[in-house]
Structure 1
Amino acid sequence: MSDASFLLLDGLTLAYGKTTAVEGLNLSIRRGELVALLGPSGCGKTTTMRAIAGLMPVKSGRIVLDGRDITRTPANRREVGLVFQSYALFPHLTVFENVAFGLRLKGMSGKPLEDKVLAAIASVGLSPFANRKTPELSGGQQQRVALARSMVMEPKVLMLDEPLSNLDARLRLEMRTELQRVQKESGVTMIFVTHDQIEALALADRIVVMRNGAIEQIGTPEDIYNRPESAFVADFVGFENIFALKDGQLVTPGGTVPIADAPADTAALAWRPRAVALGDGPFSGVVRSSSFAGSAREYLLDTPLGPIKAEADAAHPAHDLGDTVSFGLPAATAATLRRFG
């Protein structure tokens, strides 16, 4: 098995009773890669993660890890670690004993266990807290304990379920850095599940965008952010003005509208709010809302094309509610989409 397909999902189909949650999913993950499964609730990302961990039966298809078919292998023999969203720590045990728990179940004891556990605790920066019980720790510290507890087992794949969702904004930033550091230093193949596009873009080597139990697009963070292939992905990563394109015209709620320099062989065009040329263009709309966002001011315009979201430098004079403003949708600043649906 090559490193290019260290973890292989081959035609994976998963179901809850008669309801299919994931169908015919194919995915190859490289050794040492950090991959995000990104998508809205119900898209199949957590179900896929549970199947890899052995917590979800496979209806059809295969899961192959490092050349070994683990599709029917019990969870405790898969060499797959899983950090739950809730951390699932033992509140009556110290940090040391939480991290040591799995090793003790495998029969390790004495100096070898102590050395291994202390090294794992040190790797996540918690050496001063080894003898504290977990309720005495902050949310970020508890997340690190959960990470160390999985890492100490030396899994071939480590999976994290919404790893930062329970943390406040400042701690999320700190833990992003910590997760990247631990993953790169250890070289473990890591998969994390998230519905937060910012988190996926900041952390992952590659992002797998899922929709309705299937893969919508796979790419680097730069690919997903700058070159979405479908309206679904574009909307998910912040393109808020999306229109189908037909015969060089935008298809809008108000009818078709010609657009200059429209590219050929494109199903749709999408603009981020900042890509809308506010105050300059052939279209016009009425300001229905305005919000200050630090360096920029965000506007919602009521237009014949439908609602348009635009953004302008906050240093520019603000438009008032009810003002009529012109705007343009330059084809050069749009993302070209292969699929509109």
Structure 2
Amino acid sequence: MSDASYLFLDKLSLAYGKTIAVKDLDLNICKGELLALLGPSGCGKTTTMRAIAGLMTPSSGRIILDGADITRVPANRRNIGLVFQSYALFPHLTVFENVAFGLKLHGLRGEELTRRVEDGLETVGLAAFANRKTPELSGGQQQRVALARSMVMQPKVLMLDEPLSNLDARLRLEMRTELQRVQKESGVTMIFVTHDQVEALALADRIVVMRDGAIEQIGTPEEIYNSPVSSFVADFVGFENVFAISDGRLSTKDGADIALAGTLPKAKGLAWRPRAIELGTGPFTGVVRGVSFAGGTREYVLESRFGSIKAEADAKLPGYPLNSELAFDMPVAAAAPLQRFG
């Protein structure tokens, strides 16, 4: 275990009956870190979260928290906070009573209870809403109540399961900022589970991309966004033009091998974001099969010898009409090299 580790998953394996959900997972999480578990449904991220929280017993491996082995410790003795996707608030209780609920179960009463609850509500900006019932609150406010309820327990780790998925686009943006603020001000070690790459990139100190019960890549948001190691990660974080390399040439889905200008890197594949495709000039041609206005840009789908190519251009530039033939280039220098493909 690394000296920097606060939470350490050591060869953790998890199963539902005979179905292996997570296999030999090794993961170090630092104290005070905001970590995202990112991946599609079924990749093992929620299962991993459940095991850390004590809601699932590992088939093998260890979970070490703050130097102690908690693998077999009951969930109610792990001091790990959980904020569920559904919030799980009590509608018949006030905001104050919801936040106080866990503290009362632990025997806290009187002035200390009131102080802890008021401090928690102040932290999430809901001090003025203490006497309201939770159905009277917006989705974002309910999310904050659930966050405060976990925070007042002073957990060693706070875990959030798809925390923003029930909110509309504007509230998601507000809650990203709020989660970051609360985490940085409190210093709590926070892990959140999400399938939304934008959410993970915006919030996390580090991102763990998971696939089929294993870690596909770990890195900072910048590393994951700019330097995916595999075709899976590239596709997941928005590289919509992903191709294998075979014998120094680009391989297309229909089996064609195409040479590109310049020397291809020693890699298993190359990936281009739509904005990296140069339109209006270049050695290749395609037919415009789709055009979408996206505010500052126009998004194009080209039918070409590479198959379908996704491209973007500044919306201020003249547009290319549907079914027109268009020259384009895929500069090797603008592509991300992939260590693994498939």
TM range (shorter): over 0.9
Which amino acid in 2 is paired with 1:242? V
Q: Which residue of 1 is the match for residue 301 of structure 2?
A: 300
The aligned runs of 1:229-268 (5 Å cut-off) are 229-252=229-252, 253=254, 255-268=256-269
Partner-residue secondary structure (3-state), 2:298: strand
Q: Which residue of 2 is the match for residue 103 of structure 1?
A: 103
Q: Which residue of 2 is the match for residue 134 of structure 1?
A: 134
Q: Is 1:123 equivalent to 2:112 in the alignment?
A: no
Shift of 1:254: 5.1
How far apart are the structure 2 equivalents of 1:221 and 1:46? 20
Which amino acid in 2 is paired with 1:116? R
Which amino acid in 1 is paired with 2:331? P
The aligned runs of 1:142-181 (5 Å cut-off) are 142-181=142-181
Mapped contact 2:260–2:332 kept (Cα < 8 A): yes
Which amino acid in 2 is paired with 1:336? P
How far apart are the structure 2 equivalents of 1:92 and 1:262? 67
Mapped contact 2:231–2:341 kept (Cα < 8 A): yes
Which amino acid in 2 is paired with 1:113? L
Go from structure 1 to structure 2 and tell me whether the alpha carbon gap of 1:270 and 1:277 turns closer, same or farther (over 3 Å shift): same
Go from structure 1 to structure 2 and tell me whether the alpha carbon gap of 1:313 and 1:120 turns closer, same or farther (over 3 Å shift): same
How far apart are the structure 2 equivalents of 1:188 and 1:99? 18
The aligned runs of 1:26-41 (5 Å cut-off) are 26-41=26-41
How far apart are the structure 1 equivalents of 2:153 and 2:76? 11
Which amino acid in 2 is paired with 1:148? A
Mapped contact 1:278–1:326 kept (Cα < 8 A): yes
How far apart are the structure 2 equivalents of 1:262 and 1:143? 51
Which runs of structure 1 show a deviation greater than 3 angstroms over 4 or more consecutive aligned residues? none
Which amino acid in 1 is paired with 2:283? P
Provide the aligned length of Structure 1 versus Structure 2. Answer: 341
Mapped contact 1:291–1:298 kept (Cα < 8 A): yes
Partner-residue secondary structure (3-state), 1:217: strand
Percent identity between matched residues is 73
Partner-residue secondary structure (3-state), 1:91: coil
Deviations for 1:167-189, whole angstroms, at most 9, x for unmatched residues?
Answer: 01110111000000000000000
Partner-residue secondary structure (3-state), 1:6: strand
Mapped contact 1:30–1:189 kept (Cα < 8 A): yes
How far apart are the structure 2 equivalents of 1:38 and 1:264? 28
Partner-residue secondary structure (3-state), 2:4: helix
Which amino acid in 2 is paired with 1:80? I
Shift of 1:264: 3.2
Shift of 1:247: 2.4
Partner-residue secondary structure (3-state), 2:258: strand
Partner-residue secondary structure (3-state), 1:320: coil
Structure 1, unmatched stretches of 5+, are: none
Q: Which residue of 2 is the match for residue 336 of structure 1?
A: 337
Mapped contact 2:124–2:182 kept (Cα < 8 A): yes
Shift of 1:293: 0.5
The aligned runs of 1:80-91 (5 Å cut-off) are 80-91=80-91
How far apart are the structure 1 equivalents of 2:303 and 2:207? 34
Q: Which residue of 2 is the match for residue 216 of structure 1?
A: 216
Which amino acid in 1 is paired with 2:105? L
Q: Which residue of 2 is the match for residue 19 of structure 1?
A: 19
Which amino acid in 1 is paired with 2:129? F
Q: Is 1:273 equivalent to 2:277 in the alignment?
A: no
How far apart are the structure 2 equivalents of 1:279 and 1:337? 27
Q: Which residue of 1 is the match for residue 322 of structure 2?
A: 321
